[in-house]
Amino acid sequence: MSDPPPAARRSAARRAAREATRAAGGDGDAAPRTAPARGGGSADPLTGPLRRAGLVRLLVLQLLADEAPTYGNHLIERIREQSAGLVTVNPNTMYPLLRALEEEGLAVGEWEHPVRRSRRFYRLTAAGDVERERLRGEVAPVLDAVADGVEALRRRLAA
């Protein structure tokens, strides 16, 4: 399964940002709410809007920019660590994403041992770096909206 085209991702990001902003609006006491996921997205009200906005794709691109060439299972573990367990990615998501990034020219993969297939190490390309910056601009407002919703919950529960 490949990621949706850029126009669909932008539309989903705008929709998720509107939903999260609307949920966090008013008196600030509302918890973020999302509609049931469509098209394989997460129905989780906390990470669902972020996933639909492209968070996992952005995290993978960011990790490929920050670290030496790395492989899928290491990326899965790093995402879990960096999100304190909030975002988990399974191999059935990670490896198709890495193949898609490679097909789009955003990452390059090379086998650890060219003669025998073992681990495939990926690194970011210049085009991947441009995509990472673009996607950061799309995900940031959704991340802010989710953070606002969580903060509204904290205030409400502390009262």
Read off the pTM: 0.70
Instruction: Report residue 134 CA to chain centroid gap.
Output: 13
Q: Assess contact for 146 and 50: CB atoms under 8 A.
A: yes
Tokens (6 digits) for 6: 């850029």
Residue with the larger pLDDT of the pair 115 and 149: 149
Taking 60 as the threshold, does the pLDDT of residue 98 lie above it? yes
The CA-atom distances, in angstroms, between 49 and each of 24, 37, 80 are 13, 9, 18
DSSP 69: S
Instruction: Give the C-alpha separation, 17 to 23, whole Å.
Output: 10
Q: Identify the structural domains of the chain with CATH numbers, from first to last.
A: 6-158 (1.10.10.10)
Confidence band, pLDDT 50/70/90 cuts, at residue 129: very high
pLDDT score at 83: 93
